[in-house]
Amino acid sequence: MIVVADNLQVTNRIIEQALKDMDPVPIQDLVKQLEAAGAEAIDVNSGPLPRQGEEKMVFLVETIQQVSRLTLYLDTVNPRALAAGLRACRTAPVINGFSLEPAKLAWILPLAQEFNCDIIGYLLYPGGLVPAGANERLDVAVQLFQAYQEAGLDPEKLIIDPIVPPLMWQDGPAQAREVLTVIRLLPELLGFQVRTVAGLSNLTSGLGPSKKRLHLEEAYLAMLAAADLDMVLLNALHPRTISIARACQSITGSKIFSVVD
Amino acid sequence: MIVVADNLQVTNRIIEQALKDMDPVPIQDLVKQLEAAGAEAIDVNSGPLPRQGEEKMVFLVETIQQVSRLTLYLDTVNPRALAAGLRACRTAPVINGFSLEPAKLAWILPLAQEFNCDIIGYLLYPGGLVPAGANERLDVAVQLFQAYQEAGLDPEKLIIDPIVPPLMWQDGPAQAREVLTVIRLLPELLGFQVRTVAGLSNLTSGLGPSKKRLHLEEAYLAMLAAADLDMVLLNALHPRTISIARACQSITGSKIFSVVD
């Protein structure tokens, strides 16, 4: 399970301001912190970048690459900014991501083809709604994989995000368990070892900062690891969450870590 | 998932001395601490009690019952002491436990019949060795269930312990993953919702005290919970482990806990 930091996002005011001012320093400080904390990749969530999108995404990618060689997950719905960002990447990036939403199929999917890179597909309905249960998510997975294949893309470059539900939702805990089932069943359903990714912080969305929130994320992280999740997006500045991720890697054998040191 | 404290054991020197002196105070202090910490049941690991076994087990049970109403898991290989302890229990106890070892089948199993109580069966070979993989454990489970049924016991009173391996073992991580599979498969294999229990501290046996040890236990605890484990024996005096257990209960829905407080 690869740990992808979800901290570099435009909803963070420091990053928002740095992006506005084109100031590399706060961005590079954060990236260095994330790498030191144990992040193995970085999600670059720039938001939609309605103005100077290409310029800003290139600035982000180049700024990060000046201090880090970690894999970048480019996370924007703006296809022009995304294309510019992909072009600026020196090591193989990941597109985060597409869904059955017609605009994304039309504008994002071809970029995965053009840049021959990994791309995350979300198990969401075309209108953006989250499917309610395991069966509904698996139905969407079949449709998503079909659209993906029809675009002529390599199955091995697909990564599926089953969408972790907030526990706050009325059926949140039940859906969270169904997501574990979906992760387990996807390779059999699609007939190959499709990779999976999940956004951990979505689990506790709306709960506010608390110890309990972190415990819920830590517990669910281990459950995701046991379901053989390949990548997890999480707050890499929570040392305990990183420690639990390392412990999971020791147990699931996804990385060789000594269990004794 | 029910949290069973594994702290009350004769290998703890304070408990060893208290049992020798028949001094209830240190035992009651520990029991109160365990209950305050969140233990939902207590494993009473008296060891084999070679001398005055019946008297000492009755002393233990009565001493605990003076300060707590938690369910007691009576954990001794001494059948006479066990019988005396079961007789002294005011609330339904659990026998911990039996295996395919001939002496246990002959002496422990009939006590479950006589006292009509829950009993834990270990997935061990008759000589006490731990089966290597999931298939071997499932083979033993079938044999264990057969011996259990031949003794005329109620399937609903059986609880299976698949034996958590130490990660230190050469194939420890692989076995730890196989144990999760076994927990998942047992109900289907045996044809009813057989309950399962696991001893968490065995995972880190031999690793010595460290933060990493606790992280490994916490991660594996959540994996066990996701596999639908019914009861877990653990060190109830580690507040973080208890917090992770609570978080698991919130997610798996095995208990109604608010996710927000």
pLDDT of the residue at A259: 46
pLDDT of the residue at A257: 45
Cα gap A247→B61, rounded to integer Å: 37
pLDDT of the residue at A254: 62
At residue A253 the predicted structure's pLDDT band, cuts being 50, 70 and 90, is confident
Residue B238 Cα, gap to closest chain A Cα (Å): 14
Q: State whether A148 and A243 are in the same domain.
A: yes
The answer to whether residue A200 is domain-embedded is yes
pLDDT of the residue at A211: 83
The answer to whether residue B258 is domain-embedded is no
- pTM of this prediction? 0.94
Report whether A218 contacts A240 (CB < 8 A).
yes
Single residue among A24, A59, A91 that ends a domain in this structure = A91
pLDDT of the residue at A166: 96
CB pairs under 8 A between A and B: 121
Alpha-carbon distances, residue B158 vs A196, B120, B178, B234 (angstroms)? 37, 6, 21, 20
B196, containing H or E segment? strand B195-199
Q: With an 8 Å Cβ cutoff, are B247 and A172 in contact?
A: no
Lowest mean pLDDT among A163-172, A181-190, B177-186, B203-212: B203-212
The whole domain housing A153 covers: 131-253
A208: left (phi over 0), alpha (psi -120 to 50) or beta: left
pLDDT of the residue at B254: 62
Total domains, chain A: 2
At residue B56 the predicted structure's pLDDT band, cuts being 50, 70 and 90, is very high
CB nearest B251 (choices: A219, A250, A253): A219
A118: left (phi over 0), alpha (psi -120 to 50) or beta: beta
The answer to whether residue B259 is domain-embedded is no
Is B257's pLDDT higher than 60? Answer: no
The chain A residue lying nearest B222, using CA atoms, is A219
Cα gap B72→A143, rounded to integer Å: 52
The answer to whether residue B108 is domain-embedded is yes
The answer to whether residue B221 is domain-embedded is yes
Report whether B34 contacts B42 (CB < 8 A).
yes
ipTM over 0.95: no
Taking the Cβ of residue B173 and every Cβ of chain A, the question of whether any pair is shorter than 8 Å is answered with: yes
pLDDT of the residue at B204: 96
Helices marked H in B68-193 — which ranges? 79-88, 102-107, 109-115, 134-150, 172-190
The 10s digit of each residue's pLDDT in A59-111 is 999 999 999 999 999 999 999 999 999 999 999 999 999 999 999 999 999 99
The answer to whether residue A118 is domain-embedded is no
Cα gap B6→B151, rounded to integer Å: 29
Q: State whether A54 and A150 are in the same domain.
A: no
Q: State whether A143 and A243 are in the same domain.
A: yes
The 10s digit of each residue's pLDDT in A193-247 is 999 999 999 999 988 778 899 999 999 999 999 999 999 999 999 999 999 999 9
Cα gap A67→A32, rounded to integer Å: 7
Mean pLDDT of all residues belonging to chain A:
95
Cα gap B199→B130, rounded to integer Å: 14
The chain A residue lying nearest B176, using CA atoms, is A251
Q: State whether A73 and A169 are in the same domain.
A: no
Tokens representing B58 are 């009755």
CATH number of the domain enclosing B199:
3.20.20.20
The 10s digit of each residue's pLDDT in B189-211 is 999 999 999 999 999 998 877 88
Q: State whether A84 and A136 are in the same domain.
A: no
Q: State whether A184 and A83 are in the same domain.
A: no
Report whether A56 contacts A46 (CB < 8 A).
yes
Report whether A55 contacts A32 (CB < 8 A).
no
